[in-house]
Structure 1
Amino acid sequence: MEKSPNLSQKIYLSILVFLVWFALIFQFSVHINTGVAVKSELVIRFFSYFTIDSNLLVALCSTSILFFRSTSVGRFFAKPQVIAAIAIYIIVVALVYNAVLRFLWAFEGWSMVLNELLHVVVPLMFLGYWIYFVPKQQLQWKHIWFWLIYPLVYTIFVLFRGNYSGFYPYPFLNVTKFGIEKVVVNCAIITLLFAFLSILFVAMARRKTK
């Protein structure tokens, strides 16, 4: 049975829960009022961003552990392999954004604050949570295959929908601009990043366990 969060863990999770939900709700409000498309399309576009989906997973995981630990949902999100998977997803968000996308757009005011929360603050805080509060002895090499399912499903969905709607949430996934061959190469590179981080996480966990 998973242990209940201690006081320091509750304080840490409380800060994380507040920040991630604040960023997601505020960002949704900004996005839905841009007027660049009809509301229904804007909602779909909002949840087409891997950044948003991964931060939402962080929000659901942190909230469930903090407030609903005794429920089936809370027990699921409290599993070390689930937390590790979400940590990998959100770290990929931070790495890809800061290495590839940061200088493509200029943000000001609250947009800049929200951008930093979603791409820097929340990823680092959730990584810190995994490092300091999550038991790691249960992580196994076989978990890596399951961790890669979500990014694969996401990529298939984005490319499939983009083929009909013409909207691609990230430039490196834009088949219309770069062609399918280039996009496949880009996807392969990001898949390798997911795989590398997954291997690193399990290796760190196994070494610490020993």
Structure 2
Amino acid sequence: MITKTQIFRSFIALLGIIGVSIQIKQSGFGMLLYYTTLSNVLVFSFLIYLIYKEAKSGAIKTDPKLLRLKGGITMAIMITFLVYHFLLAPRVKAHDYYTLRNFLVHYIVPLSLMVDTLILDRQRIYRWFDPITWTSLPLIYFAFALFNGLVLKWTIPGSADNPFPYFFININKYGVGYVAVNTIGIAIAYLAVGYLFLFIKRYVGPHIK
């Protein structure tokens, strides 16, 4: 029997697939070099696995390792929303901002997964060090993005800072100090949001012993 939770998660996964598919169809596979695209792929891939696992083995609400991993993936997609909305959106022209693909990958999928994790996942499941572990995902991406910009130089579709995906890590244009400050600032903000998320999840969500 298909549950409401599975239907909701299937819907989020479908929206993620649609958003990424539109990106790739319109701009090519180089879109996979963006953190936004990769985080959306991570979300819909994990949700598909989650739906399959629940259908095969039953509810996953009591699986702490899986839920903690889901918390990390939720934070990974939330930084997509936060960085885009506060750092990138002000630089985007109206005709690029008000598009289906933009709203799907930057707003709808991130916020939908956050609602899913907050409301449906059990409370008091995360460990105190989880936000530190979660921060490794964007830092690994930053390292890859810098490596691409400095060494590989793969083309980033639509990026004004090509071969860097985002202006705040364009080390050639702004220098090491600027990029270091941005990286540290985003990492600290990510940690802060992660611990806020951990605190909220102590009181929000099903209470399962």
TM range (shorter): 0.7 to 0.9
How far the C-alpha of 1:67 sits from its partner, in A, is 2.6
1:99 alignment partner, one of 86, 92, 95: 86
8 Å contact 1:61–1:77 — kept in the other structure?
Answer: no
Q: 1:64 aligns with which of 45, 49, 60?
A: 49
The answer to whether the 8 A contact 2:20-2:41 is kept is yes
Q: 1:78: how far off? A: 7.7
Alignment-derived partner of residue 196 in structure 1: 192
The count of residues paired between Structure 1 and Structure 2 equals 193
Distance in 1, Cα, partners of 2:69 & 2:123: 11
Taking a change above 3 Å as real, the CA distance of residues 206 and 132 of structure 1, as seen in their structure-2 partners, is: closer
Q: After the TM superposition, which segments of 4 or more aligned residues of structure 1 sit over 6 Å from their partners?
A: 74-78
Give the Cα–Cα distance (whole angstroms) in 1 for the partners of residues 192 and 143 of structure 2.
21
d(CA) in 1 for partners of 2:201 and 2:15? 27
1:32-43 to structure 2, matched below 5 A, reads: 32=28, 43=29
C-alpha deviation, 1:160, in angstroms: 1.5
Deviations 1:119-151 (A, max 9, x none): 011111001100111113221112222212211
CA distance in 1, matches of 2:74, 2:4: 19
- Residue 106 (structure 1) shift: 2.4
Please name the residue that 1:85 is paired with: 72
Compared with structure 1, are the counterparts of its residues 111 and 46 closer, same or farther at alpha carbon in structure 2 (3 Å cutoff)? Answer: farther
**What is the one-letter code of the residue matched to 2:93?**
A
Counterparts of 1:204 and 1:6, CA distance in 2: 29
1:178 aligns with 2:178: no
> For the structure 1 residues 111 and 21, does the alpha-carbon distance in structure 2 shift closer, same or farther, using more than 3 Å as the test?
farther
SS in 1 for 2:123: coil
Report the equivalent of 2:131: 144
Alpha carbons 2:171, 2:179 under 8 Å: kept:
yes
Q: Please, which runs of 5 or more residues in structure 2 have no aligned partner?
A: 154-161
Q: Is the 8 A contact 1:92 1:193 kept in 2?
A: no
Once residues 160 and 124 of structure 1 are traced to their aligned partners in structure 2, the CA distance between those partners, rounded to angstroms, is 30
Sequence identity, in percent? 23
Aligned-partner residue type, residue 48 of structure 2: T
User: How many Å apart are 1:77 and its aligned residue?
Assistant: 11
Please say if 1:53 is aligned against 2:30: no
CA distance in 2, matches of 1:144, 1:47: 25
For the 8 Å contact 1:173–1:183, the answer to whether it is kept is yes
